[in-house]
Chain A
């Protein structure tokens, strides 16, 4: 069981304008674990991820208080913001295929990082597409537009892209919302494989998915942590909080 702290969040408060959506949450995410985050819509799950990789900076009305450290470094004082963001791979609920070819989608981050030897980029593109279980389907048409792929393929493309900068942390935000169950299971297998190399934060609307994959799970509700513990406890018959039991068993209201 992994135990070293990878991401430390202390008293994180986030407000959009005057409306606070994260009310001072504290948690540790451990190296090489799959950390599940469950909770109803509007709980602040996506906002939490955006605070970690600081894409929250792009919402001018957002104000953040508290600290987040990754590998002991405070993300808000990050010396190299771009390096921080490359440390973190992000997969959005609906696949965002950049208007580029399949190859260029995956080569995007390495190129931004300053890599330009074709052979190196080729190798990364192939490796990431293989890791995302997409290589065999697209290896003959790497030059066609990424947006021409099917929904499930596009989501695997965004996973390949998120892996292209060799992140230490992979955040998945409800990645299976728009894809079929078979593809979902394939990606879940991929994730089990990836956790050898990275920490995975799995935000999911399917509680069963967290149950299948996550080592520990956090139940976030209205910007507060209701319960955080080993998945066995959260999904077992006697979690500490009654609301956890109700939510996990679909009785929440």
Chain B
């Protein structure tokens, strides 16, 4: 449009004002809403019913006189098949679960977050694509294969380097679990960093920040929720993992004193014994009770994380 040009006034036919959507479109929307609602409710329903089922299987023994909850939680004696002196204490296995998970996280969190930062902020586009493909491949390796690696390769290496009598122990399980969690932490962490708007990066750089200062002072605070989610999903994988730890940790029921001790985790114990425990026996029911215990642990971990996220958000 240059000087002097005039344009004819726009012609409105008022088609919009008189337009009407067909009835089926409205019904369709209602249906879709109902469907999505049903999906959401059923997710809650399924989780609840799994919990109810597990709890129901465990309940008879939990409320019987033969059973002592304090002994269950705080005794390390696990003799479920003894003829004369049955003992159902899971403290050693709880300690096993916590020690293996803690070691795995101590390795996986710094490695995973470091790799996520490297992939997202420091490496070139070519290398980035390659690394992402490799990371996704790692995430797709089934846990039994990891367990196999732990049992054979890793355990030999551990015996060789530490002189430990057996190579299947906390160290082995921790490393294997770390290797399984790292890909999850990297790929979700990388997504979280990628979601930080480029304008933040440019503003930080324009203020004279080096790349590292940018990462520390801008990107980590900006992406903290996503990074925390990445770590939590990694923890979730490590706590819930069964097959690999069953094969890699040595399956010994005792409270560990060093990372070269063999342990048994709660999950591995269920997997190993449920098939042999006669249905409806006390042993069988106690295994379900361990399931309830796992549920409870996970619940509190999630709750703590949720509160942490909220705390961070509020700041």
Interface residues of A (CB under 8 A from B): 53, 55, 58, 60, 82-83, 85-86, 88, 90, 92, 94, 96, 98-100, 108-109, 111-113, 158, 161-162, 164-165, 246, 251, 253
Chain B residues near A108: list those with CB within 8 A.
204, 207, 209, 217
Q: CB-CB < 8 A to A253: which residues of B?
A: 1-3
Q: Chain A residues near B2: list those with CB within 8 A.
A: 251, 253
The contact of B217 among A53, A88, A111, A158, by CB within 8 Å, is A111
Closest CB-CB distance, A134 to chain B, in whole Å? 17
A92, A98, A161 — most chain B CB neighbours (10 Å) = A98
* Given A98-B200, A99-B221, A99-B222: A113 and B208 interface contact (C-beta under 8 Å): yes
Residues of B24-67 at the interface with A, using a CB-CB cut-off of 8 Å, are: none
| Chain B residues in 8 Å Cβ range of A100 | 217-218, 221
Q: Given A82-B209, A165-B208, A253-B2, are A58 and B221 neighbors across the interface (CB < 8 Å)?
A: no
Beta-carbon contact of A112 and B213 below 8 Å: yes
Closest to A88 in B: B206
- Nearest neighbor of B221 in chain A, beta-carbon distance: A99
How far, in Å, is B112 (CB) from chain A's closest CB? 22
Shortest Cβ gap from A175 to chain B (Å): 14
Question: Contact: B207 with A165, CB < 8 Å?
Answer: yes
Question: Which residues in B have their C-beta under 8 angstroms from that of A82?
Answer: 208-210
Give the Cβ gap from B97 to chain A, nearest Cβ, in Å: 36
Chain B contact residues, majority secondary structure = helix
Question: Could you tell me the distance between the alpha carbons of A112 and B208 in the complex, rounded to whole angstroms?
Answer: 7
Within 4-40 of B, Cβ neighbours of A (below 8 Å) are at none
A113→B208 CA distance, assembly (Å): 7
B204 touches A98 (CB 8 A): yes
Contact A246 B3 (CB under 8 A): yes
B residues adjacent to A (C-beta < 8 A): 1-3, 125, 198-210, 213, 217-218, 221-222
In the assembled complex, which residues on chain A have CB atoms less than 8 Å from the CB atom of B201?
58
Q: Which of B125, B200, B205, B221 contacts A85 (CB 8 A)?
A: B205
CA distance A108 to B214 in the complex (A): 10
13 further A-B pairs in the complex, CB-CB below 8 A; given A100-B221, A112-B213, A158-B203: A58-B198, A83-B208, A88-B206, A94-B199, A96-B199, A108-B209, A109-B208, A112-B207, A113-B208, A165-B207, A251-B2, A253-B1, A253-B3
Bound: A164/B204 CA distance, A: 13
Q: How far is it, in angstroms, between the C-alpha of A83 and the C-alpha of B209 when the chains are bound?
A: 10
Roughly how many angstroms separate A58 CA and B209 CA in the complex, as a whole number?
13
Q: Which listed residue, A60, A96, A113, touches B200 by the CB 8 Å rule?
A: A96
**Which of A60, A82, A88, A246: most chain B CB closer than 10 A?**
A82
**Complex Cα distance A2/B1, Å?**
39
Q: Complex Cα distance A93/B221, Å?
A: 23
A156 to B291, CA, bound (A): 57
Complexed CA–CA distance, A61 and B1 (Å): 34
Taking CB atoms, residues of chain A closer than 8 Å to B209 are 82, 108-109, 112
Contacts of A164 in B (CB 8 A): 207
Look across to chain A and name the residue whose beta carbon is closest to the beta carbon of B197: A96
Q: Which of A90, A99, A162 has the most CB of B within 10 A?
A: A99
Task: Please tell me if the beta carbons of A98 and B208 are within 8 angstroms of each other in the complex.
Answer: no
Which B residues are in CB contact (< 8 Å) with A158? 203
- Complex alpha-carbon distance, A140 and B92, angstroms: 54
Contacting residues, chain B, for A58 (C-beta < 8 A): 198, 201-202, 205
Shortest distance from the beta carbon of B129 to any chain A beta carbon, whole Å = 14
A55-B202, A96-B200, A99-B221 given as contacts; is B3 within 8 A of A85 (CB)?
A: no
State A90–B1 Cα separation when bound (angstroms).
Answer: 34
User: Do A251 and B210 touch across chains, with their CB atoms under 8 A apart?
Assistant: no
Supposing A253-B1, A253-B2 touch, asked if A90 and B204 sit within 8 A by C-beta, the answer is: no
Give A107 Cβ to nearest chain B Cβ, in Å. Answer: 10
A253 to B5, CA, bound (A): 11
Contact partners of A83 in chain B: CB under 8 A: 208
